[in-house]
Amino acid sequence: MSMVINLRIWRQASKDAQGQLVSYTMKNVSPDISFLEMLDQLNDQLIKEGKDPVAFDSDCREGICGTCGLVIDGVAHGPRRGCTTCELRMRHYKSGDTITIEPFRAEGFPIIKDLVVNRSAFDRIIQSGGYVAANAGSAPDGNAIPIGKDIAEEAMDAAACIGCGACVAACPNASASLFTSAKISQLALLPQGHAERQNRVLNMVAQMDAENFGDCSNHAECEAVCPKSISIQTIARMRREYMAAALTKH
Amino acid sequence: MADKWTYFKSHAKLVSPANKRKFKILVVGTGLAGGAAAASLGELGYQVHCFCLQDSARRAHSVAAQGGINAAKNYQNDGDSVFRLFYDTVKGGDFRSREANVYRLAELSVNIIDQCVAQGVPFAREYGGHLANRSFGGAQVSRTFYARGQTGQQLLLGAYGSLMRQVHAKTVEMHERHELLDIVLVDGHARGIICRNLVTGEIERHAGDAVLLCTGGYSTVFYLSTNAVNCNATAIWRAHKRGALFANPCFTQIHPTCIPQLGDEQSKLTLMSESLRNDGRVWVPAKADDTRPPAQIPEGERDYFLERRYPAFGNLVPRDIASRAAKHECDDGKGVGPGKRSVYLDFAQAIVRLGHTTVEQRYGNLFAMYDEITGDDPYHTPMRIYPAPHYTMGGLWVDYHLQSTIPGLFVLGEANFSDHGANRLGASALMQGLADGYFVIPYTLGDYLASHKHKPVDKDGPAFFEAKDNVTGNIKRLLDNKGSRTVREIHWDLGRIMWNKVGMARDEAGLKSAIDEIARLRDEFWSNVKVSGTGEQLNKDLEFAGRVADFLELGELMARDALTREESCGGHFRTEYQTEEGEARRQDDKFMCAQAWEWTGDAKNPKLHREELTFEEVSPGQRSYK
């Protein structure tokens, strides 16, 4: 049972070029394939016609690397909750559907080409403090610091972030708060992170602002699209951490 | 042997702190091996330049490892030790790895866990706060540490955090979206690399005092594998063509528990972690051609074939053995699902024994992933699984120092051949990547740098332009080709040849025909491939074209290696060499060796070198998990 799918895809030759939505029709789409496999098929078709294939990023195709990210019918990563673009299957669509595909849009994520954006700002936020400073070779025994199961689980919930940027794409303010707060929460919960706790939150929030991401105004759109279902409670924790650090450090 | 690493560390030549910053090290790849190496070398004070083809170092394919990482901590008090991990790994590799390397790996495993905990990796914990363990294949102890089903991700983010810290400290400079396309040799030593900036298309020259390749494995030679779609062999293959020997290319791991292929348009296969075999039971209907739904097949009419054939290890036999057993059942017509090419992995009894909540805590994300891909809910119906290419034990030949046959070119992690012999045990890849990166290379690289007089090298020297011209010529040749088939179509064709003839079961006739078919396909590629766009832009079609061109040469070498190795061992199963029970039969008198191949200028005539393996601590016996 193959389907006909109409696509409207954002095409933009380079960062500063004018972009536009271009329509394509796919005639033989199997419901078993993934959304990105449908785009692979489209690209093979375009290459054979001597046209420029659609540039999009993807790598693991199982929802863990955070490379892929498309806005599908206005929703970052598409209609399925807790799911990355690459996990989305065509069986969730029906023949005759028209699907609009756009890149993650944010001032902090400039477009490189078509659906490919530059998310290096996330790396710079992590560089500003998203780690525990522990040189190789200096660690005590792994069981030297017991960490309660509940704390470990909560830290893991935050650590599950894949850095895809859907939170930014979904936010009306293009805020990177969910991404930044996930790392801050993980390391604030764990005892290993305590030595640098205050500097970490101050520096990471400052870097987030410097990258032209907007402020958080509690829309919670980020949580709704997050493929790892990271809770906006991490943002609340980031604010508490920030307040405590700002009050004691300055 | 047990003291070899300690002895080496005590006697290795050192580079003083003030001199370290004078050395520029080029690290290619940012997975567990590359990320850990670049961060650790940065911490030591070297000038590190680090390259990855992803848009961020955090996305390297190590991120996808699910189940866990082994360490001989013996926290469970169940009889584990460094020796036992060493022994399990050598036996798991079917006695085709180097003893001293494996012993060092087992020894360092304990430091890795400590290091990762210190970085804030949120490993699973017991209620008392101590680290939790699970079991993996090929071991009778619980020594696997894990972070839900995302262990690779968490370990990688630990290494990535350390790497970002060094970027902030300006000891490491990152070059993302860069792909290595050639190695530059000056006076026989690796002194630089040629990269393509994947955004602008610019071909860049980078000079340094040593080059570290940490670029992963080559399972995507099969087109369909559990690897990420950008995984490739280009870095190690181009190094091979510059003189680095390629060892045991035919040693590939076919992982038993993957979601079966759904159709012809599929781009990759998804792994279901080996950890699931802690609680899931593998079975097929006892009679062939039984088409009843699983719930209607009574207990007495099911064949739990792993438990039946291997009572001592049961569902937790090593991967090569579990994969072959599943293939065997399907070949006998007992497979289930479309085309009868899959077996059940059933959690019904685990859910009764442990409760839904516990099963969800242990495997929730894997169950959700399975459900999303297949549309079936594994809490209510058994998973269907089938083997798929997952890991490559072969890779560039390295010595004990992880140095290839090109001086100054070091190879870490899956990209080298060193530690896993003919089959890798589960939860050992993460261990090896991090051991190489955090704890081996900081010592062996220092020894190399301190032992050689290094003349300064300028990236404007003739060797750099020669290599750049080589790369540019290659790209032009690809783009100028006005054929009619896409890169993906030809890759798919190659994958079918590899899977059918150089896959889970191999024989002389099949391998010989694979060699011919690959050569023909390679000719077709160069006469009939169509690559779109130009070289001066982001052009993913061009990137893939270069990688597939390399696979078309590597695939042939894999087949030649498999043909030459007239024995069965680990993941390399030659049907001519099996016991009456269908187990692998080694030919220790002829093949107790690593086969390392030298590029001679064309794919047809590689030259074979052998490294004979000697076993002092363990005696190679018939590998038994019964």
pLDDT tens-place string over residues B58-98: 999 999 998 899 999 999 999 999 999 999 999 999 999 99
Helices (H), A83-226: 120-127, 149-159, 166-170, 177-189, 197-210, 221-225
Chosen from B127, B265, B360 to mutate, greatest number of chain A CBs within 10 A: B265
Among candidate residues B261, B32, B273, B255, the one with its CA nearest the CA of residue B162: B32
Helix%, strand%, coil% for chain A, nearest 5: 40, 15, 45
Q: Which of B544, B464, B558, B560 is nearest to B512 (CA)?
A: B560
Which amino acids of B are annotated catalytic? Answer: 319
Number of alpha carbons in the 13 Å side-chain half-sphere of residue B477: 12
What is the per-residue pLDDT for B16?
96
ipTM of the prediction greater than 0.95, yes or no: yes
For A176, the token pair is: 């990177």
Does the predicted TM-score (pTM) go above 0.95?
Answer: yes
Percent of chain A at pLDDT > 70 equals: 100
> For residue A211, what pLDDT is reported?
97
Inspect the interface and report whether the beta carbons of A136 and B442 lie closer than 8 Å.
yes
Check if A137 contacts B (Cβ < 8 Å): yes
Query: Does the pLDDT of residue A250 top 70, yes or no?
Result: no
Whole-Å CA distances, B275 to A63, A169, B124, B269 = 19, 35, 14, 18
Cα separation, B275 vs B345, in Å, equals 12
| Burial grade of A249 (CB within 10 A; 0-12, 13-18, 19 or more) | exposed
* Contact call for residues B596 and B247 (beta carbons, < 8 A): yes
Three-state SS at A226: coil
Q: Which residues in chain B land under pLDDT 70?
A: none
Q: Return all residues near A83 (Cβ < 8 A) that are at least 6 apart.
A: A63, A77, A227, B372
Question: What pLDDT, on the 0 to 100 scale, is given for residue B416?
Answer: 98
B467-490 core/surface letters (b: 16 or more CB in 10 A; e: else) = bbebbbebbeebbeeeeebbbbbb
Q: Does A155 touch chain B (CB under 8 A)?
A: yes
Q: What residues of A are in contact with residue B61 (Cβ under 8 Å)?
A: 59-60, 65
8 Å CB contact of A59 and B541: no
| Contact at CB, A122 and B75, closer than 8 angstroms | no
String of DSSP letters for B372-437: HHHS--TTTS-EEEEEEEEEES-EE---TTSB-SSTTEEE-GGGB--SSTTSPPTT-HHHHHHIII
Report the share of chain A in percent with pLDDT over 90.
98
**Res B136: pLDDT:** 87
3-state DSSP assignment of residue B182? strand
Which residue in A104, A22, A109 sits closest to A69, CA to CA?
A104
The strand order across the sheet containing A98-102 reads A20-29, A3-11, A98-102, A71-72, A75-76
Question: Residue A83 pLDDT more than 90?
Answer: yes
**Amino acid, single-letter form, for residue B5:** W
Contacts of A126 in chain B (CB under 8 A): 58, 160-161, 164
Decide: B486 and B530 in contact? Cβ < 8 Å: yes
Tokens of B477: 């040749």
Tens-place pLDDT, residues A168-218 = 999 999 999 999 999 999 999 999 999 999 999 999 999 999 999 999 999
Inter-chain CB proximity B162 and A134 less than 8 Å: yes
Chain-centre distance for alpha carbon B570: 15
